[in-house]
Structure 1
Amino acid sequence: MAKENDWMEPEDYLEEADRLLEQGQYEDALAACRRAVELEPRSADAHALAGRCLAYMNRVDEAERELLQALDYDRDCVDAWFGLAFVSWLRADDREALGFLQRARQLAPEDEAVLAQLVGIYGNLGRFDEAERLFADVQETHPESAEIAYQWGLVLAKQGRYDEAVRVWGRAAEWEEDFPELHLSMARAYATLGDLGRAEQELAKELELYPDAREPRLTLGGFYMQRGDFGRAVRVYEDLLREAEDDSRVHLDLGIALMRLGRAAKARRHFLRALELAPGDPLILSHLATVPHTKSDMSRARRVLRQALRAEPHRDELYRNLSALFADEGRFDEAEEELRRAMAFSGRAHELENDLGVLLAMQGKFETAREAFERGLKTRPDDLPLRINRALIDADLGRPEAALEALAALAEKHPGDFDVLGNLSSLLLETGRAEESIEVARRMCERAPFDPRGYYLAGRALYENERYEEAEQVLERASRLDPFQVDTLITLGMCQAALGRRRECVRVLERARSLAPNDPDVLYNLGLAYEDVAAEAEGKPRIEDAVALYRRVLQLAPQYEAARERLRALEE
């Protein structure tokens, strides 16, 4: 920090803090903000900037307190509303972030940073048409804004339109040379397109600007993962943890890499540590659920969430994560109770009703689930996840035509939303309309040729239509785009079995088992593959392997009747 003198005013400290923040010197920037607050305790600007510093340091709860303090002193402080949006984004709560940004825009309609983040947040929420309209609207006032173009590129990338995104980012880099995030995003896009050479060139530009930055090194670890070089990825992540052990993202990525190497116990420890650092992040829980875990591990996860709730009893995402833990253990009553506790105070009750509806549907309580979705829609009639689930519950209730009609209407209104299109394609397949399902899936592929979801759905529909060779080609494309998608590998293995390629089927399904060792569908299909190979030539060892797999399936999912039938047939 610059040397202080007796004549520095609060504004001087805030200018210094801004400069330090731009340089990534967050601790020093925070110290400058603290000095400004000492001189002017009721300065909303000082508290808002301190909140930003804390958010950049991932001290999210402290950041929120500073930002709310700023609003206590000035309800029209744009920086405070903007900062709260950033805090919500860090907590993976894009809907809350949108509300804060819309308030900031009311106060500052032409603020470049606010407009840029609004474009991005619409993309995060899948509201791509609104993002595009806003981007077009602001071109007149901000025709060469690198920040707005950067966010629009992210929206394009979310739709799988990576070529367009790279062109947008390339133009933005001409307008502003010192914008490292542009190079980082281009690197990620090139990697997704399979051009790792160009990806590494862009990453090198980023590291040239900021050689010690963590984000590009995290991305480098991701590139190694994409190549299947998990050992090098682990070394990158371990280096990052030696520099800062309290980064939940690194613990999460390291856990994933260790899982790929088959080191499940160590991966589990990193997932649990990530959860301790970021208890509100649902992504961590989803990975923790896939790794082999004990009752002790789940008890520890619950303790982490309970402890976080004692400190902050009004964070509804903590209740949602706790509910998910209970549901994973089959403790549905307790899972429901946690959601209802959050509903008592949350401003996002419609999202909680959606969670509750899904939880009830998992238990086969379809009528009660429908009521939950409809309660949510009364307060947020345009909420897309609620509308999708409300449509799907009709199918569960024996009204597939009503469900298809509702999903088709949503697809017409939201032609770029892959959740809508994916569910429409799946339901068409379930109702025996394979050709229509393929058509919807191909529409997804055309719209986003580097997004694996469309190829997976097309491949699954082609398989069900007994067009196995076409299905195999499409599924191999999906697997190249996302090598870690287990459902794709299962369906690809089934195709190869249908084509008589039994050994290839075994290899694919064994790879799926390495990714998801406790997935009953993976284990069941691998058991079938072992039976096929044994029937061909291999003999008794493979049959014994199949028996062991079916027994394991029934341990994990006692109601898996197909596995029970195969086990009974082999043991008789």
Structure 2
Amino acid sequence: MSVKWVLLLVIGLTVIAGCGRSPEAQTARHLQRGDRYFGRKQYREAVIEYRNVLEIEAGHRYALQQVGFAHYELGEMGLAFPYLLKSKELSPENLDVRLKLGAIYLLGVRPKEAQEEAAYVLDRDPKRLDALLLVAWAARTPEEVGAALRRLEAARADFEDRAKFQLALASLYLRKQDPAATEAALTEAVTREPKSVDAHLALGEFYVGKRDVAQAEREFKAAADLVPVSSLAGVRLADFYVAARKPDEAKRVLAEILEKVPAYLPARRRLAEIAFTEGKYDESETALEAILTQNPSDPDGLLLRGRVRLARRQPSEAIEDFQKVLKLDSRAAPAHYQLALAQLQAGNLQQAKSELREAIAIAPDFVEATLALGELNVKTGAPAPAIEMLETLIAKQPNEGRAYVLLGSAYLANREPGKATEVYRKFAARAPRDPRGPYFVGLALRAQGKRAAATREFESSLALAPGFAEPLAQLAASVFAEKQPKAATERIKRQIALVPTSGAFHVLLGRAYAAQEQVELAEAAYLKALELEPSLVGAYLALGQLYAAAGKYEQALEKANAALKVRPENLVALMLVGVVSLQKGDVPRAREAYEKALALKPRFVVAANNLAYIYSEYGGDQEKALQLAQMAKEVAPEEPTITDTLGWILYKRGIYQRALSLLQDSAAKLPDNPEIQYHL
């Protein structure tokens, strides 16, 4: 063979090889492999192949759809969502994409969006079962439930032999509060399709609601046995064990899944969640690190890590994680809610309100966000909007007891104790065995000046729960207000005779003695409280305050530190350490205590004021002293000691005119305080 022909042969082979590596050929090869993996339910491998296609052609419609479908099948809804959303944008007529998006919306507490997707599908395919099911699952109001039931009944002849159809009926019967019809439909679903994982899971959930643990476990195990180990049924079995207070069983199930499929994120994520709920934050973060190493953009992993950091009181880091989740999905209501909690912890009240409003705008039925915003409005002096949103929530969900409690407090804050009484009576009527009902009614009656009626309600509360400390405290306070300290003490003693093991009751007794300046008896009562309940923080603090008032600073610090061992984030204990340490002349220790308090609650005015004073008087950061004093003045503008601190700091900085105005104001309000008069 001549050199010329050899050269032509080499060139020809090179061209053929190049054709094999063309973008079109590579795309076809990856798609073929992806479809093969998808058909075998090897979704993780399918994702890799489809993503390879997207590396070549970012807008490939089929690859976008299939990545979304694969993540969906893996239970990774947060990862599936952006791909399905993009796929819908490129192919709005794709009904399968819309149905899966609708299911994700439903999981994300966005029923309106779910209903919109179902409606689009049913307009084009009126007998599409999955769309009918989505309508059923998304129904919230009684009207929506009724309409969904009528729609399903109209389709019964076509689908009654399908387990999914029976499950949808069961969900609607459940919302109509018809347990017999619910159980019948669920049993029919299992009978029609004994190998239906969803049917067994739903029946298991029903038995959980009936508190039939044995039957529930049987159904969850049956579901898990029907599918591959890397399925959500196994994770649901673990969830059941967690709810049944069998965390070791849950961990065993999840460990078995991960032993066989180490890359299965839902199981690893659930282990991280269990560790989080157990307060094992290091263990949770270790599991999350593995998840986020595997997929740095895993929204569920980022959300959970943010919650861990929030629990560790690391709001800045938590905010960063929640914002990452929102970059992936700006309409993730749970992320907005958690971001609000982080902003609240950081002292950013307006940002917190904004995020809560956003969460509610996205998911109007988001109860936790509504309650959080209502409580924040009440605390910040805006009870009127809280009343409006809570009235709306109760109209939608009349069995949400927390809404009644908060609405009552909003009416009290709005100086409408009569309306508060009405709300609390409704709460008491709905939960007649709950001792909080008459207790709250008593608070509202007392706010109206109806002491006798309030006393009867507090006594009723104690009759329901003899160990309930709050109504006893109110009864004692009421008797003290009538200048009958001995009668108050005797009332507490009578309750102690009924519940002698209550540490909280002995703390109340100690306070009663302390109010009568019977220091030794108060000390004995507090010590008895700790003997009964060694982790009772209130008893440690009461003792610490008693010792501090008596000038026994070492003993006061000992009790304050004991309280901090039980609850390291207790602000009262930190303040006690700060005050006593400063009285002892231990400035560094006082400064450290106040700094810790401000780290926990950045706009805590008492700590800010005291720390500003320390920085100013004992050689600290003078700029920081001014900032803290100004912040304290902003939060509590009428408090004379805070006004005095700011005035004195300004005087030392040579800003005399402003200082004089502040010092005159504080001196006028506290004419008997020698230090403030000296500053003037």
Please, what TM-score do these two structures have when normalized by structure 1? Answer: 0.60
Distance (whole Å) between structure 2 residues aligned to residue 539 and residue 405 of structure 1: 36
Q: Which residue of 1 aligns with 2:153?
A: 139
Matches within 5 A, 1:313-352: 317-336=334-353, 338=355
Distance (whole Å) between structure 2 residues aligned to residue 270 and residue 462 of structure 1: 50
Aligned pair partner of 1:464 in 438, 457, 461 = 461
Q: Which residue of 2 aligns with 1:548?
A: 540
Cα separation, partners in 2 of 1:268 and 1:83, compared to 1, 3 Å: same
Deviation at residue 335 of structure 1 after TM alignment: 2.0
Amino acid at match of 2:131: V
Query: CA-to-partner distance for each residue in 1:515-556, whole Å, 9 max, x for gaps?
Result: xxxxxxxxx689779999x86997975587543376548975
Tell me if the contact between 1:354 and 1:373 (Cα under 8 Å) persists in the aligned partners: yes
Amino acid at match of 2:153: Q
Aligned pair partner of 1:500 in 498, 502, 507 = 498
Of structures 1 and 2, the one with the larger relative CO (CA 8 A, separation 6+) is 1
Q: Which residue of 1 aligns with 2:113?
A: 96
Tell me if the contact between 1:82 and 1:101 (Cα under 8 Å) persists in the aligned partners: yes
Aligned pair partner of 2:122 in 81, 105, 113 = 105
SS in 1 for 2:229: coil
Deviation at residue 114 of structure 1 after TM alignment: 0.9
Aligned pair partner of 2:182 in 140, 153, 165 = 165
Aligned pair partner of 2:440 in 430, 437, 443 = 430
Distance (whole Å) between structure 1 residues aligned to residue 257 and residue 509 of structure 2: 41
SS in 1 for 2:153: coil
Distance (whole Å) between structure 2 residues aligned to residue 309 and residue 199 of structure 1: 36
Cα separation, partners in 2 of 1:540 and 1:335, compared to 1, 3 Å: closer
Query: CA-to-partner distance for each residue in 1:145-204, whole Å, 9 max, x for gaps?
Result: 421321343455678866653332110122223311111222333344343333333234
Amino acid at match of 1:251: R
Cα separation, partners in 2 of 1:362 and 1:244, compared to 1, 3 Å: farther
Query: CA-to-partner distance for each residue in 1:62-117, whole Å, 9 max, x for gaps?
Result: 53343334433443432232122123234443443333333333343332111112
Query: CA-to-partner distance for each residue in 1:342-401, whole Å, 9 max, x for gaps?
Result: 59x976699799578426425232246349849x98xx9997699x69966445423355
Tell me if the contact between 1:230 and 1:258 (Cα under 8 Å) persists in the aligned partners: no
Matches within 5 A, 1:410-421: none
Deviation at residue 464 of structure 1 after TM alignment: 1.2
Please, what TM-score do these two structures have when normalized by structure 2? Answer: 0.52
Distance (whole Å) between structure 2 residues aligned to residue 530 and residue 263 of structure 1: 36
Tell me if the contact between 1:149 and 1:172 (Cα under 8 Å) persists in the aligned partners: yes
Amino acid at match of 2:348: R
Q: Which residue of 2 aligns with 1:193?
A: 210
Question: What root-mean-square deviation, in Å, do the aligned CA atoms of Structure 1 and Structure 2 show?
Answer: 5.8
Amino acid at match of 2:498: G
Tell me if the contact between 1:502 and 1:529 (Cα under 8 Å) persists in the aligned partners: no
Distance (whole Å) between structure 2 residues aligned to residue 103 and residue 300 of structure 1: 41
Tell me if the contact between 1:180 and 1:206 (Cα under 8 Å) persists in the aligned partners: yes
Cα separation, partners in 2 of 1:58 and 1:196, compared to 1, 3 Å: closer
Aligned pair partner of 2:80 in 59, 63, 74 = 63
Aligned pair partner of 1:26 in 43, 66, 83 = 43
Distance (whole Å) between structure 1 residues aligned to residue 510 and residue 271 of structure 2: 33
Q: Which residue of 1 aligns with 2:167?
A: 150
Cα separation, partners in 2 of 1:35 and 1:422, compared to 1, 3 Å: farther
Tell me if the contact between 1:157 and 1:189 (Cα under 8 Å) persists in the aligned partners: no
Amino acid at match of 1:134: A
SS in 2 for 1:398: coil
* Larger displacement relative to structure 2 (167-176 or 26-35): 26-35
Distance (whole Å) between structure 2 residues aligned to residue 548 and residue 528 of structure 1: 13
Tell me if the contact between 2:64 and 2:83 (Cα under 8 Å) persists in the aligned partners: yes
Query: CA-to-partner distance for each residue in 1:287-340, whole Å, 9 max, x for gaps?
Result: 74895x243xx4332222233345555656534321221214443133235557
Query: CA-to-partner distance for each residue in 1:223-258, whole Å, 9 max, x for gaps?
Result: 433554333322333344453456357534554367
How many residues align? The count is 461
Q: Which residue of 2 aligns with 1:53?
A: 70
Q: Percent identity?
A: 15
SS in 2 for 1:75: coil
Amino acid at match of 2:224: L
Q: Which residue of 1 aligns with 2:195?
A: 178
Larger Rg: 2
Distance (whole Å) between structure 2 residues aligned to residue 283 and residue 156 of structure 1: 34
Q: Which residue of 2 aligns with 1:256?
A: 274
Aligned pair partner of 2:382 in 325, 342, 366 = 366
Cα separation, partners in 2 of 1:50 and 1:212, compared to 1, 3 Å: same
Distance (whole Å) between structure 2 residues aligned to residue 171 and residue 250 of structure 1: 34
Tell me if the contact between 1:356 and 1:372 (Cα under 8 Å) persists in the aligned partners: no
SS in 2 for 1:466: helix
Deviation at residue 128 of structure 1 after TM alignment: 5.1
Distance (whole Å) between structure 1 residues aligned to residue 59 and residue 264 of structure 2: 32
Tell me if the contact between 2:230 and 2:257 (Cα under 8 Å) persists in the aligned partners: no
Tell me if the contact between 1:166 and 1:189 (Cα under 8 Å) persists in the aligned partners: yes
Cα separation, partners in 2 of 1:528 and 1:196, compared to 1, 3 Å: farther
Distance (whole Å) between structure 1 residues aligned to residue 62 and residue 187 of structure 2: 34
SS in 2 for 1:139: helix
Tell me if the contact between 2:437 and 2:461 (Cα under 8 Å) persists in the aligned partners: no
Cα separation, partners in 2 of 1:356 and 1:107, compared to 1, 3 Å: farther
Distance (whole Å) between structure 2 residues aligned to residue 539 and residue 462 of structure 1: 23
Amino acid at match of 1:135: L
Amino acid at match of 1:183: H
Distance (whole Å) between structure 1 residues aligned to residue 528 and residue 414 of structure 2: 46
Q: Does 1:207 align with 2:204?
A: no
Distance (whole Å) between structure 1 residues aligned to residue 416 and residue 467 of structure 2: 31
Matches within 5 A, 1:197-276: 197-242=214-259, 243-244=261-262, 247=265, 250-252=268-270, 254-256=272-274, 259-260=277-278, 263=280, 265-267=282-284
Tell me if the contact between 1:268 and 1:288 (Cα under 8 Å) persists in the aligned partners: yes
Tell me if the contact between 1:218 and 1:250 (Cα under 8 Å) persists in the aligned partners: no
Distance (whole Å) between structure 1 residues aligned to residue 213 and residue 366 of structure 2: 39
Tell me if the contact between 1:94 and 1:121 (Cα under 8 Å) persists in the aligned partners: yes
